[in-house]
Amino acid sequence: MAQTDIPSAHFHTEMLPCGMRIVCAPSATDVAYCGIAVDAGTRDELPNENGLAHFCEHLTFKGTRRRRSWHILNRMETVGGDLNAYTGKEETIYYTAFLKEHFARATDLLADIVLCSTYPQAEMNKEVEVVIDEIESYNDSPAELIFDDFENLVFHGHPLGRNILGEAGRLRQFRSEDVQRFATRLYRPDQMVFFVYGRIDPVTVRRELEKAIRKAAASLPEGHPLRHGLTATAAGHAWPDNAGTGRTAVPEYCPKEMVVQKDTHQSHVMIGARAYSARDPRQLSLYLLNNILGGPGMNSRLNLSLRERNGLVYTVESCMTSYTDTGIWSIYFGCDPHDVARCRRLVMKELRRLADAPLDARALEAAKRQIKGQIGISHDSFENVALAMGKRFLHYNHTQDIQTLYEKIDALTADDLHAVAQDLFREENLTTLIYK
């Protein structure tokens, strides 16, 4: 058994009286990872809040009622640890890596910044320029920007299509009270998961987390909306119902084609479609099919066709993202402008090959062997394992060990993959975005 292969029996889960869920699993080293996953992302922003979920993440490090910005940044660094965060379309995750003897320090800090940040205006005035620089770095990189624009095409008019970073003009208009309202609405303990990956027993996890939450509650002023939630009793909370998302439903998908004029040497092209949610049984078939088509292996069908045989591109890849109620699948390549039409024909040829006939037994077995190897290698990153565990438990209220995932992959049939290819890879189903 690989050292990051966590048997399902080794996951520990429970819920605190305040509604915060806990998931923890043992690791094989003295390095531990823990974090708080918040069920709040870009798709939870109100129409006038675009960019606020990500901005809130930045500002969560800028001061609490107990700590100033410097104290937050320095707290884990002084013991050799690391503190970080990221914002997605459906979640924001704050996490830290450290030697396991510093678990209490890490837990206290995370509870303080996530539950008790004050989002001071003076810090906002500085940090907004940092975020705007981040936005401009994307604007200067069409190979990255096109992914955001493509998602906006596929989910046009829906919050999932919004750029996570937001827009400079709107960000400069936000005030401290705007961020406070956002956090008060969404940063609630019953919308959070505390996750731990390390050699720390569950009794210690619960004890230190409850201690940190009591400190957080005590630092909040009387009448603060969150204070009651942190001191709530178990009777006020139920284990989350994972049947629904409670979010705005996505509109009907309408394929389209768009060409955008850009002053770039290369043309950048994305082709794809709306795909499956993480709850859809077809999602795993697409996962394997996507890897065959344009995964990271140099033997992917698109890389062999566009790069190795024809020398038309430096990069070609396919990717997929599954959300709680929908998903997106896409192909990206960059090429000389005069090669766009030829590259598109070659892409369609590979899509038709997969849609026209099922894989033979030998090709299917090779594809399964390859993706299982890739999964095993990715699990050698403890940080990836910890973050995936926290995110999965946040959204779906369950965990998945690597052996179970292997068994599900082994159970896939050529007909399973063929049905997905026929469903998604039809030319009339595809959306195309081209930067020229």
**What band does 5 get if pLDDT is binned at 50, 70 and 90?**
very low
Which residues make Cβ contacts (< 8 Å) with residue 57, sequence separation at least 6? Answer: 85, 86, 87, 92, 94
Q: Select the CATH number that applies to the domain covering 8-236 from these four: 3.30.830.10, 3.40.50.620, 3.40.50.720, 3.30.70.1520.
A: 3.30.830.10
Which sign does the torsion angle of CA 357, 359, 360, 361 carry?
A: negative
Q: How far apart are CA 332 and CA 263, in angstroms?
A: 19
**Residue 7 pLDDT more than 60?**
no
The CATH 3.30.830.10 portion of the chain extends over 8-236, 257-435
Segment 412-425 mean pLDDT: 98
**Residue 1 pLDDT more than 50?**
no
**Residue 355 pLDDT more than 70?**
yes
Segment 111-124 mean pLDDT: 97
**What band does 233 get if pLDDT is binned at 50, 70 and 90?**
low
Which residues make Cβ contacts (< 8 Å) with residue 339, sequence separation at least 6? Answer: 267, 312, 313
What is the predicted pLDDT for the residue at 242? 60
**Residue 246 pLDDT more than 90?**
no
Give the fold, CATH level 3, of 257-435.
Cytochrome Bc1 Complex; Chain A, domain 1 (3.30.830)
C-alpha distance from residue 250 to each of 42, 150, 292 (Å): 14, 16, 28
Residue 91 token pair: 């979640």
Of 246 and 129, which is predicted with more confidence?
129
Q: How far apart are CA 279 and CA 392, in angstroms?
A: 11
Residue 346 token pair: 């070659």
Question: Average pLDDT over the chain, rounded to whole?
Answer: 93
What is the predicted pLDDT for the residue at 241? 67
What does the DSSP 8-state code read for residue 235? G
What is the predicted pLDDT for the residue at 162? 93
pTM: 0.94
What is the predicted pLDDT for the residue at 327? 98
Which of 327, 343, 333, 345 shows the shortest CA–CA distance to 420?
A: 327
**What band does 221 get if pLDDT is binned at 50, 70 and 90?**
confident
**Residue 403 pLDDT more than 50?**
yes
Segment 256-260 mean pLDDT: 97
**What band does 240 get if pLDDT is binned at 50, 70 and 90?**
confident
C-alpha distance from residue 180 to each of 115, 285, 328 (Å): 11, 42, 32
What is the predicted pLDDT for the residue at 2? 34
**What band does 391 get if pLDDT is binned at 50, 70 and 90?**
very high
**Residue 333 pLDDT more than 50?**
yes
Which sign does the torsion angle of CA 150, 156, 158, 159 carry?
A: positive
Which range has highest mean pLDDT (135-139, 191-195, 216-220)?
191-195
**Residue 426 pLDDT more than 50?**
yes
Q: How far apart are CA 382 and CA 388, in angstroms?
A: 10
pLDDT in tens, 26-75: 998 999 999 999 999 999 999 999 999 999 999 999 999 999 999 999 99
pLDDT in tens, 153-165: 999 999 999 999 9
